[in-house]
Structure 1
Amino acid sequence: MRAIDYFDRGHDLDPRRPCLVDGTSGETMSFAAVRALTIRIAAALHAAGFRSQQPIALYGPNSVTMMAALLAIWRANGQWVPVNTRNAIDANAAYLDYVRCGWLFYHSSQAADVAALKARVPSLTHFVCLDRSYDGDPSLDQFLCDNDMDSLPDFSDPFGKPDDIVGLFPTGGTTGPSKGVVVTNLGWGTMIETLAGALDGKTAAPVSLVVAPITHAAGPVALATLSLGATQVILPGFDAAAVLGAIAHHRVTHLYLPPTALYSLLDAPELADSDTKSLKFFLLVGSAVSPEKLRRAVDIFGPCLCQAYGQVESPMIVTWLPPEDVSAAAAGDRPERLASCGRPTRSVTLAIMDEEGRLLPDGEAGELVVRGVLVSREYHAQPQATAEIRTHGWHHTGDIARRDADGYVYIVDRKKDMVVSGGFNVFTAEVEAAVTELAAVRECAVIGIPHEKWGEAVHAIVVADNIGDMEIIAHAKARLGGVKAPKSVAFVPAIPRTAAGKMDKKALRAAYWTGARMVN
């Protein structure tokens, strides 16, 4: 089906049900009102010269209007171009120019950035400011004025337009400029149906809290839960106290956060007095989760924690670790599964591959590779990069993983992050998990730094309170042995992160490898 068809499925369950709720003001729109607004926006787009399958970008913080505009892009059969406001303006300008984006919906809080984009991106010719008229650009209300809802063309067909493009999604860009991942209705629909199936049940009145940026994983989570008829409570950004307050006030049942936000919740002073009993699914996606912190989260939030693994090229739910498995592991039944991202979903075939393209047996570590309709079609206008990531007839994720005899997958490192010390492969996720077992350690990033004898030495960069480096090293050595344990520890107030919220290990390594040749 088309992306907008999943929203309409949720609408048809009960058009009167609250659909979008501003978590700050309390402003509420029903499914019927949101559907009508998306039709008006889509009709206005086509009346203004928009053509089916043109790229449209959204630029601004989470809001009810931003979510409605996203749905309207799909209603108009446009290609969504997510733009992360945390990126450097040069990176965003380069990406919008690369995908030849012509339309931009933005919030006035981003006006300075938008002015720079106007000057740097020749293809951008149409602008709508969502909250007010600005610098000659119409407000959304002005843009909608006097447009006939009945003028919107019908873009559906009997097959759900499987080959139409739903979005041009940027990769992280940590090793160079972002590539545009071409995601079709077929792949997007597969993801939405798989995710919605995993998050269904346990409640007849789902309420989903949208707090992570909709330009990242929160967008597909919102659409998946909208297809279930879930009310979306929208916060402009993450604040631990505001999240805990919203859960209690709105009786939130579904919550997605990256692991770093979970850690902030666990440290929030408001947590002790917060009512979070309504939570049925607390989904963690985006990076590895500390098993010790996951165990603590189950103790606090109850049997609702779950994990998924995916990436932009094979989005969101390649593997799934349901709440039942997490809760059992936290209680001591197969506790090692707290470090797993789950088993493959029905939407993919998954394997572990060595450097020569041989598929490895259970227990051996290698690159995680996948096949299936969940895998994106290609990189936009980059056939060579597409061919490189599809060698040996599989999509290569770039993640090192192993699979146990029961089919559970364990991500042990990014291929580029693995440390090679004295000829031994050290997987940084394993070391980070051991270090964060210590109660005083809030976060840990492990990298390799130059060593005259071993080539690389394992180095831990830690955010912690009242603990010394030797205590950390001794604990890791007892858990992992001398080869894998950090040889040095640096304490920092915060670990740098990419615009997508992941640990920026490239930046961390650069401080140590300037003028030296990296081993990996």
Structure 2
Amino acid sequence: MHWGNELATMRGRYGQRVGIIDAEGSHTIAEIVDRAAGIADRLSALGFGPGDFIATVFQNSMLAAAASYAVALTGATEVPINPVLSQKEFDHALSCTGTRIVLLDRATTLTLTPCVAVEDVRKCAPRPLTAEGWPDVEPETPSRIVFTSGTTGPAKGAIHTHLGRWTAGLLLRSVLPTRPGAQNRILLMTPFSHGSSLLTFAYLAEGASVHLMHGVDTAAVLPLLASGSITEMFAPPTVLAKLTEALQQTDSAKPQLHTILTGTAPLSPMLYHKAVAQFGEIIRVTYGKSEMFNPITVLSPPETAEAYAGNASADEGLCVGWAATGVRIEIRDDGGRVLRDGEPGHIFLHSPHMFRGYITVDGLKMLAPGEFHDTGDLGRIDQTGCLFLVARQSDMMKTGGYKVAPDEVERALAAALPETEIIALGFPSEYWGEIVTLVAECPPSDWQERLTPALASMTSYKRPRLFVAMDELPRNAIGKLSRAELRRRLSEVYDLIETPQPVFVRKGMQI
């Protein structure tokens, strides 16, 4: 792999086009890769190259892209870290990888040990990037370590090779709704250390532009969307919900978007229909994992509209589309046997751009050649080959001898509380094993009464027995709801009284 050649070609072809707009203004593609060359020169001078781990800690900005390109140019391994992580999570990432240098933009509130060097990339003078002078990296050399969200335990670092990164970029570009060009600009608000970086690189490689914002500031985003300068937007369900709610409460001009890309978490039918009322039928669904970058499956906007137009029952799962080129999906039972179409089971994946293994504090855990990745998700494939997500295996509730998917409970009840975020989880019980518990974020005063008809229509063992209202549901650094953290908070605040109809008794603390 020769990243110098890749970036030099991009510079020569599209260098004068605007590549990134961030809080500091507009930056051409040439300026971005020239900044990368300067940072890479500094890393090379310090002795870093293939086999070395280099952490990057940036808010969404041109410098985040330049730093990532710079690490690739040297052939080293990038460890992208979300700057909002806790000190414990930050230390965990550095400890797992043995990182010896951190690239930053000015300062950070995170504490670094003396054995870890710090490099402020603003001090690295840019210079015109050329193809010459960069190493030809072995394709299977690690390129990026992407840490999992850590919702079910300590985060693991998924190891992606230079070849895997390059292949993932090609596949992502191949499945975009339209081929980006000078007329395209995508708005990205989620952390650069995750999916935003992949879309940034895909758009820049085609000579298109990216508008990077740090977080979702609706006062800034809505006028931007109405201006017509943004053609696409990446909005996972949490972001889409926030923007949809803001649009419902304003008289501002409607967004002028071509496509909304969504993923990272299931898109509920309720949210989909709310979003369509504001944006139109322009939502595209994908399925991705830290272990296998998008695309895994793709559902185009017309296909998404068709999938969400039906009256599928809550236990059928959510349609996330068909496998992308090169992706193999198998549904297996508990014993590893591949199931027939329509049968629910464990989702296993394989593709040329998937990760090669994990790096943890306990060392490496590599995949065997040809081994499929167990996603930890449960799903099914219908007769057309379309994948449906049913639940996360770790989230499955075991109550009274039955298994219940929290997503199914949430979908069955969401229509009764369209304005309220709800989450179902299993709370430990000596009698039931786990009790199906429903937690609502800032619900209306009559929320439990409004649930009554929907509860009556549910299978008895799937009905929640405990109901809790909270001011705010716990989320991790990338906005995903954390059932483990929610369960911990409930345990701190409530005592469970075990009766045929169990109840929570508050310990006198505030949630």
TM-score calculated relative to the size of structure 2: 0.87
What is aligned with 2:125?
Answer: 144
Structural RMSD (CA): 3.0
1:489 and 2:487 aligned? no
Distance in 2 separating the partners of 1:502 and 1:413:
14
1:97 and 2:59 aligned? no
Distance in 1 separating the partners of 2:143 and 2:267:
30
Distance in 2 separating the partners of 1:392 and 1:33:
41
1:373 and 2:321 aligned? no
Match of 1:350, as an amino acid?
I
What is aligned with 1:358?
Answer: 337
Distance in 2 separating the partners of 1:235 and 1:48:
32
Distance in 2 separating the partners of 1:152 and 1:9:
12
Deviation at 1:276, TM superposition (A): 5.2
Q: 2:157, 2:359 within 8 Å by CA — same for their partners in 1?
A: yes
Distance in 2 separating the partners of 1:150 and 1:508:
51
470-479 or 446-455, which moves further after superposition? 470-479
Deviation at 1:292, TM superposition (A): 1.1
Q: 2:474, 2:482 within 8 Å by CA — same for their partners in 1?
A: yes
What is aligned with 2:509?
Answer: none
In the alignment, structure 1 segments of 5+ residues that lack a partner are 131-139
Distance in 1 separating the partners of 2:445 and 2:413:
12
What is aligned with 2:72?
Answer: 74
Matched position secondary structure for 1:117: coil
Deviation at 1:13, TM superposition (A): 4.4
Which of 258, 264, 281 aligns to 2:242? It is 264
Distance in 1 separating the partners of 2:313 and 2:455:
20
Matched position secondary structure for 2:112: helix
Q: 2:442, 2:472 within 8 Å by CA — same for their partners in 1?
A: no
1:190 and 2:167 aligned? yes
What is aligned with 2:502?
Answer: none
Distance in 1 separating the partners of 2:16 and 2:405:
51
What is aligned with 2:212?
Answer: 234
What is aligned with 1:134?
Answer: none
Q: 2:235, 2:261 within 8 Å by CA — same for their partners in 1?
A: yes
Deviation at 1:485, TM superposition (A): 2.4
Distance in 1 separating the partners of 2:252 and 2:368:
47
Distance in 2 separating the partners of 1:48 and 1:151:
21
Closer, same or farther: CA 6–304 of 1 in aligned 2, 3 Å:
farther
60-69 or 9-18, which moves further after superposition? 9-18
Distance in 2 separating the partners of 1:6 and 1:290:
39
Closer, same or farther: CA 223–378 of 1 in aligned 2, 3 Å:
same
75-84 or 1-10, which moves further after superposition? 1-10
What is aligned with 1:315?
Answer: 293
What is aligned with 1:136?
Answer: none
Deviation at 1:229, TM superposition (A): 1.7
Match of 1:155, as an amino acid?
P
Matched position secondary structure for 1:306: strand
1:417-432 equivalent positions in 2, closer than 5 A: 417-432=395-410
Deviation at 1:21, TM superposition (A): 1.2
What is aligned with 2:135?
Answer: 155
Match of 1:128, as an amino acid?
E
1:371-450 equivalent positions in 2, closer than 5 A: 371-380=350-359, 386=365, 393-450=371-428
Deviation at 1:215, TM superposition (A): 0.7
What is aligned with 1:345?
Answer: 324
1:179 and 2:177 aligned? no
Deviation at 1:334, TM superposition (A): 7.8
Match of 1:226, as an amino acid?
L
Per-residue CA deviations over 1:395-420 (Å, capped at 9, x if unaligned) read: 10111112222222221211111011
Deviation at 1:506, TM superposition (A): 0.6
Closer, same or farther: CA 70–459 of 1 in aligned 2, 3 Å:
same
What is aligned with 2:44?
Answer: 46
Deviation at 1:271, TM superposition (A): 6.4
Distance in 1 separating the partners of 2:445 and 2:300:
34
Per-residue CA deviations over 1:242-267 (Å, capped at 9, x if unaligned) read: 22233234621121122111111111
In the alignment, structure 2 segments of 5+ residues that lack a partner are 497-511
**Identical counterparts, % of pairs:** 26
Match of 1:162, as an amino acid?
P
What is aligned with 2:201?
Answer: 223
1:33 and 2:11 aligned? no
Deviation at 1:469, TM superposition (A): 4.3
Matched position secondary structure for 1:94: helix
| Number of aligned residues | 492
Per-residue CA deviations over 1:41-99 (Å, capped at 9, x if unaligned) read: 21232123322342211113212222222222222222111112222202211321221
Deviation at 1:309, TM superposition (A): 1.1
Which of 273, 281, 294 aligns to 2:272? It is 294
Matched position secondary structure for 1:447: strand
What is aligned with 2:119?
Answer: 128
Deviation at 1:9, TM superposition (A): 5.7
Q: 2:63, 2:105 within 8 Å by CA — same for their partners in 1?
A: no
Q: 2:147, 2:156 within 8 Å by CA — same for their partners in 1?
A: yes
Q: 2:189, 2:215 within 8 Å by CA — same for their partners in 1?
A: yes
Deviation at 1:495, TM superposition (A): 0.8
Matched position secondary structure for 2:150: coil
Match of 1:71, as an amino acid?
Y
Distance in 2 separating the partners of 1:5 and 1:420:
54
Distance in 2 separating the partners of 1:478 and 1:7:
60
What is aligned with 2:192?
Answer: 214
Q: 1:308, 1:318 within 8 Å by CA — same for their partners in 2?
A: yes
Distance in 1 separating the partners of 2:279 and 2:35:
36
Distance in 2 separating the partners of 1:323 and 1:64:
30
Per-residue CA deviations over 1:153-194 (Å, capped at 9, x if unaligned) read: 23247xxx4212221121223343322211012222232222
Matched position secondary structure for 2:296: strand
Which of 55, 58, 64 aligns to 2:62? It is 64
Closer, same or farther: CA 253–475 of 1 in aligned 2, 3 Å:
farther
Closer, same or farther: CA 277–499 of 1 in aligned 2, 3 Å:
closer
What is aligned with 2:17?
Answer: 17
Match of 2:344, as an amino acid?
A
Deviation at 1:382, TM superposition (A): 7.7
Deviation at 1:475, TM superposition (A): 4.1
Q: 2:259, 2:283 within 8 Å by CA — same for their partners in 1?
A: yes
Matched position secondary structure for 2:278: helix
Distance in 1 separating the partners of 2:454 and 2:7:
48
Distance in 1 separating the partners of 2:414 and 2:427:
20
Matched position secondary structure for 2:143: strand
